[in-house]
Structure 1
Amino acid sequence: MALCLANSLVACHGFNAYDQLVRYKWWYKFGYMSATGRCFDIGTGTRQSLLEFERRQNIFAKKFNTPFTDMDRLSDSELLQKFDVYCSDHGVAGNGALTGLAPVPLFFYREPPVAVEYSGVSGQITHGDTTAYDACRYYGALIVAALQGYEKEQLLDDNFYQKHKEWFSIKRLHHEIESISRGSYKKSGYDAGIRGKGYIVNALEAALWAFWSDDNSFEKGALAAVNLGDDTDTTAAIYGQLAGA
């Protein structure tokens, strides 16, 4: 999905949530941009959102007398504004929202408030819970800061969020994400309760724990993320987006 998102940003010269969903749908149905030529390891929340997206495309095509075969190429700005791209049920907070986030902060890093907001939206179109939106906003902000040359100690500062509130507009972070921003992950690891679970709050905490404890070794951090068990590939993928920046 990260490649789909990156491709959309480049092709559209900016953020187009509808186009992103189209490309995610192609990945799900046809293996678009997949290394294996097929979709694999899609999360339940993502799959349900893409099915809902296609259902809405059908309804929209009939309402506005548009051939369904043209819906994936919809470019009329007025029509696009009428399409509800938030296709997830409320309460969906899977870690998939974070897995392919990096293209957004990479694309918009020169404008931190824009990068942070679009990071949140990129997750929310498939994962509707506030924790997903705010996990993506916070992690997007960290990636932006890394790209702007911040030192690791600055990224892991317990007051990073407080010092960069202007990047987050007036929308305060969900209390679980704010707790992570204050360093809840700074503990001994698995024995202290760090888990690479499917819940996005657990996944974010686990990835940041791996980053905090990696002794500036990407290999050590990636292995630590994987060795937590549970949803190993996703935890490592989230870790790698920040550690690799």
Structure 2
Amino acid sequence: MRHYLTELGQHSSHKNNHVRQIVRDKQWLYPQYHDSQRIKIKRPDELEQEMKDPPENIDKSILDRIQGSMLGMALGDTLGAPVEFEPPEYLIENPITDLQEGGTWGLKKGQFTDDTSMALCLATSLIARQDFVLYDQLVRYKWWLQNGYMSSTEKSFDVGMAICDSLLEFKRRQKVFAAKYQIPFEQMDFLADFDLLKMFDVYCSNDGAAGNGALMRLAPVPLFFYRQPTLAVEYSGRSGRITHGDQKAYDACRYYGALIVATLQGESKNDILNENFYHNHKSWFGNKPLHKDIEMISTGSFKKRGGLKEGIQGIDYIVKSLEAALWAFWSDENSFEKGALSAVNLGNNTDTTAAIYGQLAGAHYTYQNLPKKWLNHLYAQNFMLCLSKWITYEGSIWNSKYESGVIKKQ
């Protein structure tokens, strides 16, 4: 018996028929090319033409928050991209006040970087598999790295070392696994036998990797699973661990995932930023306490009026990135625009600090209240709006199956 799917959705295992149908119905979830040699990949804005809305009506109030989170993340990313790696001193003298083009990566106004690309990879995995499948998430990140899948430029760029190392290790493990179980390597990206998938070690990171790449792409997980907070929080942590193995990365993702879940469940900004949030939602975190550095943030270490002068830093260390994004949210005077600009103007890892800010702030302020002058320039906006509808729709279906016992906790 074969234990994989082909790219066209062929299979031999009856229990995986559901996955086959997803592939056939939504080709836009998989890499599409302009040429038979599979050289020129279709970008997200080109895939918009192939997309259709979900077949049923969805909760518009929840959709507004989910779209706000996804597009808020992308806005923060594109806002910070032109000045990524610029030091704080430069941005004090030359503060960002609006979307720009050019700069660090030579992007057009509104194009996003790896932060949003990887989040789109994660979102397409959740929709395609209608569940949390870490192996499939790694496959899609690999497609992005190798082929530019979900990139705004047809190529991957701005790739962090921890992510690159993890994805190369993942590919190496795929080769070993394929040889051991006599699976053609070209089919390894389409494994569908869940018993077989359980035997694949998906945690490909070094134990000490604590960069912010785990957090920059997080949003789709809590957005999809918010109806089951305990699972949403745990899955948020696991989604980061596959490329960033440090405990601080795992717990930063769990904590931030919990904040997004609480936002979708209607909690106020004051409740979300309350120093007792972790204590009040401890059941969501199971029996696993937060790392002391993350717990310190949860008790309000980000509440510093002086910002940069008091040690808030927009660097790539996940603890400082989390603190910086929450500082921007706490101090934004209920303005997404002000908060995103503040995050960028901290300097250094400008796009990621603002993208992390945008995930939570966008969910709170909602899509309808994001700056229209920025949305008008945002690359692949329609793709992300439709993708958000599918996150909302498939997340609801997943929840119904979970509550009825059809889907089990992993």
Cα deviation, 1:179-203, whole Å, max 9, x if unaligned, reads 0000001012000000011100000
Residue aligning to 2:317: 199
CA distance in 2, matches of 1:61, 1:208: 43
Q: Report the residue type matching 1:98 in the other structure.
A: L
Residue among 128, 138, 147 paired with 1:21: 138
CA distance in 2, matches of 1:106, 1:198: 24
CA distance in 2, matches of 1:6, 1:148: 20
Residue among 289, 296, 300 paired with 1:172: 289
- Kindly indicate whether residue 233 of structure 2 is the aligned counterpart of residue 105 of structure 1: no
Correspondence 1:216-227 to 2 at 5 A = 216-227=334-345
CA distance in 2, matches of 1:241, 1:223: 14
Residue aligning to 1:5: 122
Residue aligning to 1:54: 171
Q: How many Å apart are 1:33 and its aligned residue?
A: 1.1
Cα deviation, 1:160-214, whole Å, max 9, x if unaligned, reads 0000000000000000000000000101200000001110000000000000000
Q: Report the residue type matching 1:194 in the other structure.
A: I
- SS of 1:244's partner is helix
Correspondence 1:81-160 to 2 at 5 A = 81-160=198-277
CA distance in 2, matches of 1:109, 1:191: 36
Higher relative contact order (CA 8 A, sep 6+): 2
TM-score by length of 1: 0.99
Cα deviation, 1:102-132, whole Å, max 9, x if unaligned, reads 0000000100001000000000000000000
Cα deviation, 1:83-102, whole Å, max 9, x if unaligned, reads 00000010000001000100
- SS of 1:182's partner is helix
Residue aligning to 1:210: 328
Q: Report the residue type matching 1:223 in the other structure.
A: L
Q: Report the residue type matching 2:299 in the other structure.
A: R
Residue aligning to 2:63: none
Residue aligning to 1:42: 159
Cα deviation, 1:210-232, whole Å, max 9, x if unaligned, reads 00000000000000000000100
Highest Rg: 1 or 2?
2
Q: How many Å apart are 1:77 and its aligned residue?
A: 1.3
CA distance in 1, matches of 2:195, 2:123: 24
- Kindly indicate whether residue 240 of structure 2 is the aligned counterpart of residue 240 of structure 1: no
CA distance in 1, matches of 2:323, 2:211: 13
Aligned residue pairs: how many? 245
Q: Report the residue type matching 1:209 in the other structure.
A: W
CA distance in 2, matches of 1:14, 1:221: 33
% identical equivalent positions: 68
Q: How many Å apart are 1:42 and its aligned residue?
A: 1.3
CA distance in 1, matches of 2:268, 2:323: 20
TM-score by length of 2: 0.59
Root-mean-square deviation over aligned CA pairs? 0.5
CA distance in 1, matches of 2:194, 2:271: 40
- SS of 1:191's partner is helix
Gaps of 5+ in 2: 1-117, 364-410
Q: Report the residue type matching 2:347 in the other structure.
A: G
Residue aligning to 1:66: 183
Q: How many Å apart are 1:35 and its aligned residue?
A: 1.4
Q: Report the residue type matching 1:208 in the other structure.
A: L
